[in-house]
Structure 1
């Protein structure tokens, strides 16, 4: 079932989650343990992040430096298949521009299609300093809009090679939105025009980058509607659970943390988790009162704080539990 169908058919806000594959060499069991905890909230879909190869360096005994290039978190497609089989929940694998050729993307989409996975999130991805050498017969998607176009072409039965009587795929495509603008964009209006291009290319829904100030989301949503973007816009949410995140989150995700939140955590760093959960409850309640179609939580590997927030919400969400 497609993500957009879930939103269209639901009479109440949906709760969805995003997880990260385990590191290379680790078991899938830790992911299952995390997912077991969120299943009582009946998520209609689970996002699974994807990761390109990263460059890292090792100092050898002789003093030389060896450069390694490796995907530290492989297994997105396999994890998606496991989620679909184990939980009967729709997985949403992320597909990236960075680190993958269009040929590799097509192969991945074919595998997902064979597995009956109908949803993908098309994003540009981060640059980890490991550029891939491309031969003349290999091509790349430079931006997420190019990725959306490739997926939608396959939905029309158009592949990179001209294949006679090729079967059509049937993917629903999500894209990312940035309430505080993408860090490379000169301003928010410019960024929203780029987002509109992705929608015009065929994107079916938008899930936002994390934010902590709801007014940023409300303004972003209003600007999107004014620009003619009509697809669902789903707020993406992250909970602060440690003092350290006051610096790591802005550095990694180019966002602002509201002064009241950062000030309170700075005064009581040992209560950072409790303060973050209290803020999350208020933030979610306000978003639900605003009428959002769903809440999408960036769980990654530990859902405990998100579960605490959901348990505190006074919206009837807990009554949806199995």
Structure 2
């Protein structure tokens, strides 16, 4: 079932969903199930599976030149989605990136998903690899998520890269895209960011899922600005509880989001990581309750395979 259909079927009830990481190469699917099992009592209608693009490493050749080699650290998104749908009978939603894919790679990836009966995807540009400062698309790949959305929407209309195909089948993907309540880190302004978000919707995206935020007012302001711009699709908030003191520095640096002073001070005062986790649970629980009260259709948690704190929040909210 599509995300939009899940929302319609809920008749105003707020749904619970979460996101997981593929395991590192060398680990098996059980590590995924261990992070999902404790959360199934809250009846998630869908579970997102991130895609981590290949990293690069450089090896010096005998000639003295550097050879760039691909290192695939987290494979298996398609297989994980299939396993989740088979084991739990819920919709699994793979993330699809511009980075690391040619247009043909993307089309083949989507064909595989369609064969597996996967009806939802999240289309993202993706970040630059760690060895590079700026995002660099693959040769014959997409530069922007707007282009990726267009390719998926084209497949939904039976339009493939090979224009000579006859009687080509239409896919039926529900396309999600990212939204940034505090703007994308590379966007010059929130208004310019909203311009491109609106373009993604125009190109075929059907719902928005946001970057994490820790101040609900920023989310509500973002939604209001989207509606003013004529963006009417469902907007799903992405939530993540603070779990370590280190995250006071890493989250703002990596994701370019602000942490409220009250949250910062509570984390600073915490005696150990267990106390920090409790602060994070209580803060995220308060956020969640306010969002439910506001009638938000889905609360989406970035669990990244760690179920303990998400379960504590869900118990208090759902």
TM-score by length of 1: 0.92
- Deviation string, structure 1 residues 223-263 (Cα, Å, up to 9, x no partner): 00000000000000001011111111111111111111011
- Deviation string, structure 1 residues 36-94 (Cα, Å, up to 9, x no partner): 1111111000000011110246899xxx9986421210100000000011111101000
Residue aligning to 2:218: 216
Q: Aligned to 1:282, what secondary structure does the other structure show?
A: helix
Q: Aligned to 1:83, what secondary structure does the other structure show?
A: helix
CA distance in 2, matches of 1:34, 1:182: 29
1:291 paired with 2:295, answer yes
Residue aligning to 1:5: 5
CA distance in 2, matches of 1:121, 1:133: 19
Q: Equivalences for 1:14-33 in 2 at 5 Å?
A: 14-33=15-34
Q: Equivalences for 1:137-286 in 2 at 5 Å?
A: 139-162=140-163, 163-270=165-272, 271-286=275-290
Q: Aligned to 2:212, what secondary structure does the other structure show?
A: coil
Structure 2 runs not aligned, ≥5 long: none
Structure 1 runs not aligned, ≥5 long: 318-322
* Partner of residue 308 from structure 1, selected from 302, 309, 312: 312
Q: Aligned to 1:141, what secondary structure does the other structure show?
A: coil
Residue aligning to 1:320: none
Q: Would the aligned equivalents of 1:242 and 1:269 in 2 still touch at CA under 8 Å? A: no
Residue aligning to 1:126: 127
Residue aligning to 1:116: 117
Distance 1:304 1:58, change over 3 A: farther
Q: Would the aligned equivalents of 1:176 and 1:208 in 2 still touch at CA under 8 Å? A: yes
CA distance in 1, matches of 2:67, 2:249: 30
Root-mean-square deviation (Å)? 1.8
* Aligned-pair CA distance for 1:150: 0.2
Distance 1:269 1:179, change over 3 A: farther
* Aligned-pair CA distance for 1:182: 0.3
TM-score by length of 2: 0.93
- Deviation string, structure 1 residues 197-248 (Cα, Å, up to 9, x no partner): 0000010000000000000000000000000000000000001011111111
Q: Equivalences for 1:18-97 in 2 at 5 Å?
A: 18-56=19-57, 68-97=69-98
CA distance in 2, matches of 1:152, 1:68: 32
Number of equivalences: 307
CA distance in 1, matches of 2:145, 2:138: 20
